[in-house]
Chain A
Amino acid sequence: MIALACVVGVPLYYIVVNTLKTQEEMARSPLGLPSQLFLDNYRQIFETVPLGRSFVNTLLVTVASILVMLFIGSTAAYAMAMRASRFNRFFGALLLLGFIVPGQSTLIPLYRMLVDVELVDTLRGLVIIYTGGAIFCYFLIQGYISRLPFEIIEAARIDGAGPFQIYWLIVLPLIRPILATVGVFQTMWIWNDFITPSVFLSSPEKSTLVLQVYRSVGEFSTDWPGFMTMSVLVLVPMVVFFVLTQRHIVDGLLAGSVKS
């Protein structure tokens, strides 16, 4: 498994190792280890690019969007699972439209909509656009909820718990693995997304990290080590986030809780 991981990881190794090289060394031996520790690529970026500012912007947008999305997605999945009426099933199928429509075709109407409500070029507006990802969350979560043991919910109901209490106290803890997974997927998407902020944000001080990276790279740029260095810097928080979150994904919670 580790050997296979190494093969799969070669391209990632290539990216990281070349951020530690000069352009000359990258051309000469792109796969070799750097002959000396060359940190100028990093130094240059920290000196010229306002990373702190855009990091805070990205963090705010990502956290807010994820929380909103997970809330909307999980409530929808919960409602559908609790009451599989004909209307609900039809509505659930309709929601799938969210995956089918090519993204390019809604971009312009959405932009005009945000202009009308004066939310274009604001981080709030960006969060609203990302809220559309809730449909993806719903889709992944509903498959998971349908596998839950309903005895627990029934028991709570007999004890007199209302729908919201059941959702908040029973269902949410049970679906933690899928919430974590969806959270990771969506965080990755928003954190790395370039096209949405590029269209919806114009002020440099509101830039997200990825936007900053692309905007700092000029036309016809051939400075690949520089570009890769910026990308690595953007990715570092993601790596940390994934490593921290993945234990929630595989927290075999259900296996234990069913018996108790």
Chain B
Amino acid sequence: MTAGVIAPAGTSPEVPAGATPPPRRGWGRARETTANQLFLVPVALVFVVLLVVPLTQTFYWSFTDFTGYSAEVKFVGLSNYGKVLTDPSMLAGLGFTLAFTIGTAVLITMVAIPLAVVLNKKFFARNFVRSVFFFPAIPSIAILGLVWGYILSPLGSGVLNSLLDSLFSAGPYPFLSDATLARVSVIVVAVWGGAGWHAVLYLAYLQSIPADYYEVATIDGASARQQFFHITLPLLTPAIVISNFLLMTGGLKVYDLPFTLTKGGPGYATYTITQSIITSGVAQGRYGLASALAVLFTIAVGLVAVAQLWVSRRIERRVL
């Protein structure tokens, strides 16, 4: 830990470090450890019952011809995995899924952190503004699809196109019907929907930064910009890690937003991996195949997630 990076000289030694408190010596230690571990029992129960057991079932099904309708199944060995790995249409969704994941993760992080900093200040109508930014995440995806479809309509009567026409007499632009524009539009709508949510997460973590850091920095003559980059950002690292972990795992699994806006089109421009799991597996009653896909997908997302956490832990360690 290099305190100098975080705060100007003179910071108190009580900088939160996430370190384990020194173990207690003496008679109470074993008992205390037991008591402490008892706190993990509820979450372990949830983990086993709601996750491990169902996953084991799915794993088993991935080796069978399970249709999803009848529990009488035949063991088919690795043939489901063989089918998945040789089917080219499974790859159709890969490109956009990756672009979506990286695009939304980067953009939402870049928007949400400054947004949270601003929303943390006192200003007129703050509660109202906070609510407005937070609420895009709430209405059902069906309604959002309707509204955004109307805003981004390629016809001259679409909201955005009529606006562009009256301001710059430009357009109409085919926002959802040109491959590149459609990809960009889907990502922009996702950023619109997610930035406020993640800003609220950052907002909560901002509360854990002791106010005296800023007081000291102000006295030392640090500008707002310097304070942001040298205090706020480093101390938000855990939040950044968490937020991006959620964005990555969520992005790789994305399905309903692109589907509502474009149905995966034009062509396969906004087709996602989950959509292909659903159309070629679940919807066709080939549940064994879908299970195999889910297992492979879980492993792949798991690898990405572990890599991401590993990288961010390193960064975290360097920053703090």
How many positions in chain B have a CB within 8 Å of any CB in the partner chain?
97
User: A83-B37, A140-B242, A188-B137 are known contacts. Are A105 and B203 too (CB-CB below 8 A)?
Assistant: no
Contact with A along B24-61 (1 / 0, CB 8 A): 10000000110111111011101101110111011000
Q: How far is the CA of A117 from the CA of B47 in the complex (A)?
A: 18
Segment touching B, from A42-50, A106-114, A199-207:
A106-114
Could you tell me if A110 and B24 are in contact, using CB atoms closer than 8 angstroms? no
Q: Across the interface, which residues of B come within 8 angstroms of A131, CB to CB?
A: 46, 50
A173 at the interface (CB under 8 A from B): no
Q: How far is the CA of A146 from the CA of B15 in the complex (A)?
A: 11
B150 at the interface (CB under 8 A from A): yes
CB distance from A51 to the nearest CB of B (A): 16
Q: Across the interface, which residues of B come within 8 angstroms of A12, CB to CB?
A: 132, 135-136, 139
Could you tell me if A146 and B197 are in contact, using CB atoms closer than 8 angstroms? no
Q: Across the interface, which residues of A come within 8 angstroms of B147, CB to CB?
A: 11, 14-15
Q: How far is the CA of A5 from the CA of B123 in the complex (A)?
A: 13
Q: How far is the CA of A79 from the CA of B64 in the complex (A)?
A: 40
Contact with A along B156-199 (1 / 0, CB 8 A): 00010000000000000000000000000000000010001100
Per a CB cutoff under 8 Å, which of B32, B55, B130, B211 touches A252? Answer: B211
B207 at the interface (CB under 8 A from A): yes
Could you tell me if A15 and B51 are in contact, using CB atoms closer than 8 angstroms? no
Q: Which residue of chain B has its CB nearest to the CB of A191? A: B138
Q: Across the interface, which residues of B come within 8 angstroms of A113, CB to CB?
A: 49, 53-54
Could you tell me if A110 and B207 are in contact, using CB atoms closer than 8 angstroms? no
Contact with B along A188-202 (1 / 0, CB 8 A): 100010100000000
Q: How far is the CA of A252 from the CA of B204 in the complex (A)?
A: 9
Could you tell me if B129 and A139 are in contact, using CB atoms closer than 8 angstroms? no
CB distance from A68 to the nearest CB of B (A): 9
Segment touching A, from B76-84, B96-104, B217-225, B297-305:
B297-305
Main SS at interface, chain A = helix
Q: How far is the CA of A124 from the CA of B310 in the complex (A)?
A: 39
- Interface on B for A, CB 8 Å cutoff? 14, 16, 18-21, 24, 32-33, 35-40, 42-44, 46-47, 49-51, 53-55, 57-58, 68, 118, 120, 123-125, 127-140, 142-144, 146-148, 150-151, 159, 192, 196-197, 200-201, 203-212, 235, 238-239, 241-242, 245-246, 249-250, 253, 274, 277-278, 282, 287, 290-291, 294, 297-298, 301-302, 305-306, 309
24 A-B pairs (CB sep. < 8 Å) = A5-B132, A11-B151, A12-B135, A72-B46, A79-B38, A98-B47, A98-B51, A99-B245, A101-B55, A104-B277, A109-B53, A135-B51, A140-B201, A143-B238, A143-B239, A147-B235, A167-B39, A178-B204, A228-B143, A231-B140, A235-B138, A242-B135, A250-B203, A252-B211
- Apart from A15-B139, A163-B32, A246-B127, what are 9 other A-B pairs with CB-CB below 8 Å? A75-B43, A79-B36, A98-B51, A101-B298, A110-B54, A134-B43, A135-B46, A157-B21, A246-B131
Give the top 6 A-B pairs by smallest Cβ distance, nearest first. Answer: A79-B39, A146-B18, A109-B54, A76-B43, A255-B211, A105-B294
